[in-house]
């Protein structure tokens, strides 16, 4: 399941636009908008410190939060944010209202387990990660924190596809028309090929016969 939910305090903004956003930032806050759930967009201002640490703490876009806007609590999912390209501080955040039936598209990180149980990796093979994240369609209140790929038994030349991953109920890959690859076990240049030993044996046998 996703990271623990959290609450942020905010104040509503009557004015929107670049001038208003700049004024909010001058006050040490971050402008944001809450939209969706068939309601009009709501412009708000959030604590700079709270948002900075949430964005850089990981899992920001996959964790449902509660925003307390002047005493009214709204469940949201962060959908997008802008950072200053030089200083990396938050400039703006978009939030999506979350109702009990809200479904969303989110990118979920991929974690790999049991590398030590992969014969291919033990022989010097290399885990080649094709997708570090996978985009899923799922209920907003049941977003996985990550998906887990088990490498037990994986040999050199094997490909691990999305069909090999056990997904939580209601979580479906956005790419649905093919069984796409998440990772492969590739050979390494440092490996000693098995074929060399196989080829040497018959030659030695022939020499003995002669």
Q: Give pLDDT tens digits for 34-77.
A: 998 888 999 999 999 999 999 988 889 999 999 999 899 999 99
The pTM for the full model equals 0.74
Residue 19 has pLDDT above 80, yes or no: no
The model's confidence at residue 80, banded by pLDDT at 50, 70 and 90, is: very high
Residue 128 has pLDDT above 50, yes or no: yes
Residue 155 has pLDDT above 70, yes or no: yes
Residue 96 has pLDDT above 70, yes or no: yes
The model's confidence at residue 200, banded by pLDDT at 50, 70 and 90, is: very low
Nearest residue to 155 via CA among 198, 113, 196, 121: 121
Note whether 115 and 121 are within 8 A (CB).
yes
The pLDDT, as a whole number, for residue 197 is: 41
State how far the Cα of 131 lies from the Cα of 178, in Å rounded to an integer. Answer: 15
Note whether 154 and 120 are within 8 A (CB).
yes
State how far the Cα of 23 lies from the Cα of 39, in Å rounded to an integer. Answer: 26
Choose between 71 and 199: higher pLDDT.
71
Report phi then psi at 37, rounded to 5: 60, 35
The vertex-171 CA angle with 169 and 67, nearest 5°, equals 105
Q: Which domains does the chain have, with CATH numbers?
A: 6-99 (2.40.240.10), 104-194 (2.170.120.20)
State how far the Cα of 53 lies from the Cα of 39, in Å rounded to an integer. Answer: 28
Note whether 63 and 2 are within 8 A (CB).
yes
The pLDDT, as a whole number, for residue 191 is: 55
Report phi then psi at 145, rounded to 5: -70, -35
Instruction: Enumerate residues 6+ apart whose C-beta is below 8 A from 120.
Output: 154, 155, 156, 157, 158, 185
């Amino acid at each position: 399941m996703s990271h623990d939910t959290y609450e942020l305090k905010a104040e509503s903004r009557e004015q929107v636009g670049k001038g208003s956003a700049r004024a909010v930032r001058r006050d040490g806050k971050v402008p944001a908008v809450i939209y969706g759930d068939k309601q009009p967009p709501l412009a708000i201002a959030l604590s700079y410190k709270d948002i900075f640490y949430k964005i850089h703490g990981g899992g920001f876009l996959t964790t449902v939060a509660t925003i307390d806007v002047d005493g009214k609590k709204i469940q949201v999912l962060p959908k997008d944010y802008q950072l200053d390209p030089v200083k990396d501080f938050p400039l703006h955040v978009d939030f999506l209202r979350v109702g009990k039936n809200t479904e969303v598209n989110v990118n979920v990180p991929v974690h790999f387990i049991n590398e030590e149980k992969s014969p291919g990796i033990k022989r010097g093979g290399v885990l080649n990660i094709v997708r570090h994240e996978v985009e899923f369609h799922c209920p907003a209140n049941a977003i996985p924190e990550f998906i887990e790929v088990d490498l037990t038994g994986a040999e050199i030349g094997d490909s691990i596809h999305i069909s090999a991953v056990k997904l939580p109920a209601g979580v479906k890959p956005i790419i649905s028309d093919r069984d796409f690859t998440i990772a492969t076990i590739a050979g390494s240049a440092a490996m000693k090929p098995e074929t060399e030993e196989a080829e040497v044996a018959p030659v030695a046998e022939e020499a003995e016969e002669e």
